């Protein structure tokens, strides 16, 4: 499987994808600038892969910073412990951070790299499907605020992304499903052929067939890299990557960070976006039904959490990052395989969609 | 007095300097992007100038976020209160932050702007000499960590800098002196003619003669703008702006943030850098003596705090942001009016300088 490149001029970087990537020091070390390396990981991943990664780094001065596991810890307080570790070890501007873990670790290590001494370099080593296909690529970093997800952060591109599909062997089923939600998203927003492939191969993916996983991860990263290269800082087209995320973030914020996995919230959110797109006449009820079936085959939720009301959604969605001059913007489907970002939708249909979904 | 421009391509911005700048809405409002404005200020400045600033912003939706006053509060905890205020008021990506205050407010509001929703715009309205001539210009933002000053931050350029010299009427004498330390710095590092002017006019500056203050602030900003335009992210020449700061930050960290004003620590630090430069044969003892006299006329300290040891300095300086691959780099004088950044100095002379200064 050839490597991919995220094409951003002098900030371009490679994505290595395959079985055994993490056994190959020659892929990793060219992207480390100087002697100091700080591996940021969490309590779950450290016992599994920290020593393996360290064994590739014998020629470097390596420290590790082990964070508690979970979205509930993706905040400024935990971030400060990363700075504590870097300063206690006297890491300077030439240090390279390596994020070893899922999306939470990647987002926090990346944001720490963006801010430490006003910016140091970092490498993503994502260990979940979700982080491999989504959060490790594209340079979005940050932490949550009690009033909104990912509200504090920076655009900070990594030097490289190293995806070893072997690590997925230890991924819990629930996390696999959550990652597949983002994979399905790429088909929906910009890759109808891939969406068809997913409908045919979802069972293989859920059975962790290696070839199918490598293909799906590679194709997802390729789709994402293309969008990011067009619009690094989300001035326009990049926002389509957030299909289902406005609804999904509202769910995550409402239930408390970590209660629902990000991918689970996105799955339910994509159904809501599809339902609204259907009400607006862009896609058919059959297509919404097909999406729900696909998500169910991936063991993903297709409804918001019990008890969550339309008011809950609207209140949290009002601070969404896509809101401009108080107008809510949403990612909707123009057709299956093509998404648009728009504030030009019938607000009544949004209300009806929320009412329908919240009373199921 | 004509306005200055910080020339950074599509991120260029103006610096307005003069008496009455803050009475002129037509200067400020063109730099505000949309309806939402958040003024970040502190408890000391709010009663003095918040309403005046707000009166220029009748056409906007304005909130204010009032922080406690002082370097001791320049940390991630206080920063979080800025995010709290922005999210509670549902400010979105088009909001404009206005920093109304000294260097601490400017650094924190600027860093909040860099991070809020991964980056919003901001305007600097500095109210101290120090922030007018230094921290408001050039886009360095950030907060302190217990183990090092300004260790967490971002480069984030403002849309504009509005300097009203009238606000200096309420500036305490000690703060005036602290600001003059940075003014003297510009003469020392890159502007020998200005250094001569300062020696002739220091009494007028300390007596708050308006024309002299406007001239000194304008010339300092012009010197800084030139250096920043050459090297925005401090890959090289920009580091000369830190003359005295490596020693100075060590003092601030050692005594506890806020005990010494930043400018006071920089004054003592500049003497230390000059002494070391003299030991290395670059400048004469007379020139060191002249610098000390000038600083004394500005009521600034010329020695480190009592009881601080060479070991205290070396320990804190080891995590200075200019350290590269464990080698300490310092800003030294090649001559009066010309600074260089170098790690090529006799380490023994540094030790002797520290020993001499710490035992005075």
- The per-residue pLDDT for range A165-191, each reduced to its tens digit, is 999 999 999 999 999 999 999 999 999
- Whether residue A291 is predicted with pLDDT greater than 90 in this model: the reply is yes
Both structure tokens of A278: 């259907």
Provide the pLDDT for residue A2: 62
Provide the pLDDT for residue B34: 95
A92:B323 CB<8 A = yes
Identify the CA nearest to B182 among candidates B220, B215, B211.
B220
Q: How far apart are CA A18 and CA A30, in angstroms?
A: 18
What is the C-alpha end-to-end distance of chain A, expressed in Å? 44
Under 8 Å CB pairs connecting chains A and B tally to 111
Whether the Cβ atoms of residue B35 and residue B25 lie closer than 8 Å to each other? no
Q: For residue B108, with 0-12 CB atoms within 10 Å meaning exposed, 13-18 middle and 19 or more buried, which class applies?
A: buried
Whether the Cβ atoms of residue B72 and residue B95 lie closer than 8 Å to each other? no
Provide the pLDDT for residue A327: 82
- Alpha helices, DSSP H, located in chain B: 25-28, 51-54, 76-88, 103-115, 129-130, 173-190, 192-206, 210-230, 245-255, 262-279, 285-297, 310-317, 347-358
Shortest Cα–Cα distance, B153 to chain A (Å) = 5
Domain boundaries, chain A: 4-169, 173-358
A84:B147 CB<8 A = yes
Question: Which CATH fold topology does A173-358 show?
Answer: Dehydroquinate synthase-like, alpha domain (1.20.1090)
Chain B residues touching residue A114 (CB < 8 angstroms): 154
- On whether A191 is known to bind a ligand per the annotation, the reply is no
Chain B residues touching residue A113 (CB < 8 angstroms): none
Q: How far apart are CA A50 and CA A42, in angstroms?
A: 9
Q: Is the dihedral of CA A241, A245, A247, A248 positive or negative?
A: positive
- On whether A69 is known to bind a ligand per the annotation, the reply is yes
Give the start-end residues of each E strand in A29-181: 36-42, 61-67, 96-101, 121-126, 140-145, 148-155, 160-164
Q: For residue B359, what pLDDT band results from cuts at 50, 70 and 90?
A: confident
Both structure tokens of A176: 């696999």
Provide the pLDDT for residue B36: 97
> Cα torsion at B313, B316, B321, B323 (round to 10°)?
70
Chain A residues touching residue B119 (CB < 8 angstroms): 154-155, 233
> Which chain A residue has its CA at the smallest distance from B329's CA?
A92
Chain A residues touching residue B150 (CB < 8 angstroms): 118
Give the pairing of strands B96-101 and B36-42.
parallel
The DSSP annotation for A250-295 comes to: HHHHHH-BTTB-HHHHHHHHHHHHHHHHHHTTSS-HHHHHHHHHHH
- The per-residue pLDDT for range B115-170, each reduced to its tens digit, is 999 999 999 999 999 999 999 999 999 999 998 889 999 999 999 999 999 999 99
A325:B92 CB<8 A = yes
Task: Please name every residue paired with B67 in a beta bridge, in sequence order, or none if there are none.
Answer: B42
Both structure tokens of A221: 């990263």
Provide the pLDDT for residue B2: 62
Q: Which residues of B are catalytic?
A: 118, 140, 182, 224, 234, 238, 242, 245, 249, 262
- On whether A223 is known to bind a ligand per the annotation, the reply is no
Lookup result for tokens 């009494």:
B203
For residue A321, give the nearest of B93, B152, B323 by CB distance: B93
- Whether residue A148 is predicted with pLDDT greater than 90 in this model: the reply is no
CA distances from A109 to A71, A129, A142 (A): 13, 18, 9
Q: φ and ψ at B248, to 5 degrees?
A: -65, -45
> Which chain B residue has its CA at the smallest distance from A234's CA?
B118
- Which carries the bigger pLDDT value, residue A213 or residue B319? A213
For residue A147, give the nearest of B87, B318, B326 by CB distance: B87
- Whether residue B1 is predicted with pLDDT greater than 90 in this model: the reply is no
Q: For residue B205, what pLDDT band results from cuts at 50, 70 and 90?
A: very high
Q: How far apart are CA A82 and CA A102, in angstroms?
A: 16
Which superfamily does CATH assign the domain made up of B174-358 to?
Dehydroquinate synthase-like - alpha domain (1.20.1090.10)
Mean pLDDT value across residues B81-96: 96
Q: How far apart are CA A97 and CA B323, in angstroms?
A: 17
Whether the Cβ atoms of residue A130 and residue A179 lie closer than 8 Å to each other? yes
Three-state secondary-structure class, residue A336: coil
Question: Which CATH fold topology does B4-170 show?
Answer: Rossmann fold (3.40.50)
> Cα torsion at B83, B136, B158, B214 (round to 10°)?
140
For residue B152, give the nearest of A88, A115, A325 by CB distance: A115
Find which of A9-13, B1-5, B321-325 is predicted with most confidence, using mean pLDDT. A9-13
For residue B83, give the nearest of A118, A151, A154 by CB distance: A151
Chain A residues touching residue B152 (CB < 8 angstroms): 83, 115-116
Q: Is the dihedral of CA A220, A225, A226, A228 positive or negative?
A: positive
Identify the CA nearest to B287 among candidates B276, B298, B303, B301.
B276
- The per-residue pLDDT for range A95-139, each reduced to its tens digit, is 999 999 999 999 999 999 999 999 999 999 999 999 999 999 999
Identify the CA nearest to A15 among candidates A185, A133, A116.
A133
Whether the Cβ atoms of residue A112 and residue A82 lie closer than 8 Å to each other? yes
Q: How far apart are CA B260 and CA B275, in angstroms?
A: 21
Q: Is A315 a catalytic residue?
A: no
> Cα torsion at A312, A314, A320, A325 (round to 10°)?
-150
Identify the CA nearest to A140 among candidates A161, A164, A117, A167.
A161
Answer left, alpha or beta for residue B164, where phi above 0 means left and psi between -120 and 50 means alpha: beta
Provide the pLDDT for residue B162: 97
Provide the pLDDT for residue A43: 98
For residue A152, give the nearest of B115, B319, B325 by CB distance: B115
- Whether residue B324 is predicted with pLDDT greater than 90 in this model: the reply is no
Whether the Cβ atoms of residue A95 and residue A122 lie closer than 8 Å to each other? no
In this structure, CATH architecture of domain A4-169:
3-Layer(aba) Sandwich (3.40)
Provide the pLDDT for residue B325: 64
Both structure tokens of B358: 């710490």
Whether the Cβ atoms of residue A127 and residue A49 lie closer than 8 Å to each other? yes
Task: Please name every residue paired with A126 in a beta bridge, in sequence order, or none if there are none.
Answer: A101
Three-state secondary-structure class, residue B346: coil
B115:A153 CB<8 A = yes
Both structure tokens of B272: 């230390």
Give the pairing of strands A4-6 and B338-342.
unpaired
CA distances from B308 to A2, A164, A193, B261, B355 (A): 58, 51, 69, 16, 10
Residues of A in CB contact (< 8 Å) with B are 34-35, 76, 79-80, 83-84, 87-88, 90, 92-94, 114-119, 140, 142, 145, 147-148, 150-155, 233, 318-319, 321, 323-326
> Whole-number mean pLDDT of chain B?
95
A152:B323 CB<8 A = no
């Amino acid at each position: 499987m050839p490597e991919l490149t995220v094409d951003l001029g002098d900030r371009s970087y490679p994505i290595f994808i395959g079985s055994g990537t993490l056994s190959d020091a020659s892929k990793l070390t060219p992207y480390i600038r100087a002697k100091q390396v700080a591996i940021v990981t969490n309590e779950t991943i450290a016992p599994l892969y920290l020593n393996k990664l360290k064994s590739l780094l014998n020629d470097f001065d390596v420290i590790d910073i082990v964070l508690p596991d979970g979205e509930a810890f993706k905040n400024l307080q935990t971030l400060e412990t990363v700075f504590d570790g870097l300063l206690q070890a006297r890491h300077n501007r030439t240090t390279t951070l390596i994020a070893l873990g899922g999306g939470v670790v990647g987002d926090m290590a990346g944001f720490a790299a963006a801010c430490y001494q006003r910016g140091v370099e970092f490498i993503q080593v994502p260990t979940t499907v979700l982080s491999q296909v989504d959060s490790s690529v594209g340079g979005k970093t940050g932490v949550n605020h009690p009033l909104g997800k990912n509200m504090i952060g920076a655009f900070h591109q990594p030097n490289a992304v190293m995806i070893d599909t072997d690590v997925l062997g230890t991924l819990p089923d629930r996390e696999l499903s959550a990652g597949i939600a983002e994979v399905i998203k790429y088909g929906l927003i910009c890759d109808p052929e891939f969406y068809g492939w997913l409908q045919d191969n979802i069972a293989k993916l859920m059975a962790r067939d290696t070839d199918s996983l490598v293909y799906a991860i590679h194709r997802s990263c390729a789709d994402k890299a293309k969008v990011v290269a067009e619009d690094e800082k989300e001035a326009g087209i990049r926002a389509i990557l957030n299909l289902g995320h406005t609804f999904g973030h509202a769910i995550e914020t409402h239930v408390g960070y970590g209660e629902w996995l990000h991918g689970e919230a996105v799955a339910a959110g994509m159904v809501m976006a599809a339902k609204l797109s259907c009400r607006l006449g862009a896609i058919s009820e059959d297509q919404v039904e097909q999406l729900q079936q696909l998500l169910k085959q991936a063991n993903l939720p297709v409804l918001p959490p019990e008890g969550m009301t339309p008011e809950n959604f609207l209140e949290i969605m009002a601070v969404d990052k896509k809101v401009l001059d108080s107008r809510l913007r949403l990612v909707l489907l123009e057709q299956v395989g093509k998404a648009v970002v728009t504030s030009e939708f019938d607000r009544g249909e949004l209300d009806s969609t929320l009412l329908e979904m919240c009373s199921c």
